[in-house]
Amino acid sequence: MKHYKINNVLFVSPSFSSFIEKDYQILRAKYRVKNVVYSHRCKKSLLSLIPRIIGGVLWADLTFIWFGSFHAFFAILFSKLMQKKSIVVAGGYDVAKMPEIDYGLINMKLWRLFSIFSFRFCDRILAVSQHTKREIIKNLNLNEKKIEVIHHGFDKNRFCLKGTKENVVITVAEVNSRTLLIKGLTNFAKTAKLLPDTRFYLVGRVEDRCREKLRSINAFNLFYTGYVPHEEIASVMQRAKVYVQISANESFGCSIAEAMLCGCIPVVTACGALPEVVGDIGYYVPYGDIETTAKAVKRALKDGDAQGEKARKKIEEEFPIEKRQKKLIEVISRLQRK
């Protein structure tokens, strides 16, 4: 068997979200890593993307890419041309196909070609959940032997139980016209309206027009924190009693896992990967069923601290950051032997 040595890793992603940065730090601890991070909103960033990828692939032994989209197409194309190995992490949107809510890259006639090429021609696909793996197989018709599930991992010391819980309900999301539907944020506002004596907080950046839309639904007990840096978000979760994630689809649900580590009781839909994360903790509600959601939130607010402790234990045992770290390095080590 031919030995392929990996020392240099090119890390390519369309953003540097907290969950992406975790992988970057994991790889940096083991390999020499250069990153190519770009913004599709910045013309200068887009124009420099391809030259940066070419230079990075020339230098690297492996290209590690988050999301199988526009940037992945070029990273894998040049990796193939230069006979370099490549890994793509399927994050959810890039393999989803939900025309009923106009969600998923596979719905888009042109953009889906980038995704199809990326996942077909990379050397390994990493799915963040079993749900995402099923979507890859179903929507891209790929052999499951090429796909490995490596769940997100979380730092139990950073997200922990601290202080006294308040009768507060939160959800974390960047609020825009797309997430209002997919994340169930209009339903969150409607749920809050049915529980007027409880404070509901929407944590994250909110577009002005979306704020106005939500305020037209509920202007009384729904509050907005605005953008909160990831390093500060644990303090918000530590005060909250209940975390609500009533999405139409979730590839994993990092915020719900972090909130559970902080002792929040989850109220979620059974959509996407949420049952993988939440298990038998907390409460499940049908997507769009406002009355049932409000009743579940009310029950969760009355639960004792033991439920929050069970929520923490579930994430602590099943999704430690050390497990993701170990599995990522194992995948790369196996590529070295091919």
* 3-state SS, residue 319: coil
Highest averaged pLDDT of the listed ranges 37-46, 171-180, 318-327? 318-327
Q: Treating both helix axes as pointing N-terminal to C-terminal, what angle do 70-81 and 111-121 enclose, rounded to 10 degrees?
A: 40
Which domains, and CATH codes, for the chain?
8-153+320-335 (3.40.50.2000), 166-318 (3.40.50.2000)
pLDDT surpasses 80 at 1: no
Provide the token pair at 39. Answer: 């913004």
Percent pLDDT > 70 in the chain is: 97
Burial code of 77-91, b = ≥16 C-beta within 10 A, e = fewer? bbbbeeebbbbbbbb
Q: What is the pLDDT of residues 267-282, one digit of tens each?
A: 999 999 999 999 999 9
Q: What is the pLDDT of residues 224-241, one digit of tens each?
A: 999 999 999 999 999 999
pLDDT confidence of residue 45: 66
Long-range contacts of 223-227 (CB under 8 A, 24+ apart): 223/199, 225/201
Contact 133, 127 (CB under 8 A): yes
Q: Give the mean model confidence (pLDDT) for residues 103-113.
A: 89
Residue 188 identity: F
Centre a 10 Å sphere on the Cβ of residue 333 and count the other Cβ atoms it contains: 11
Q: How buried is residue 226: exposed, middle or buried, by Cβ count under 10 Å (0-12/13-18/19+)?
A: exposed
Q: How far apart are CA 234 and CA 218, in angstroms?
A: 26
Higher-confidence residue of 42 and 37: namely 37
pLDDT surpasses 90 at 223: yes
Closest among 80, 68, 182, 63 to 136, alpha carbons compared: 68
**pTM recorded for the entire structure:** 0.94
- Reading phi first (left if > 0) and then psi (alpha if -120 to 50, else beta), residue 253 is in left
Partners of residue 88 on adjacent β-strands:
65, 125
Centre a 10 Å sphere on the Cβ of residue 297 and count the other Cβ atoms it contains: 25
pLDDT confidence of residue 338: 54
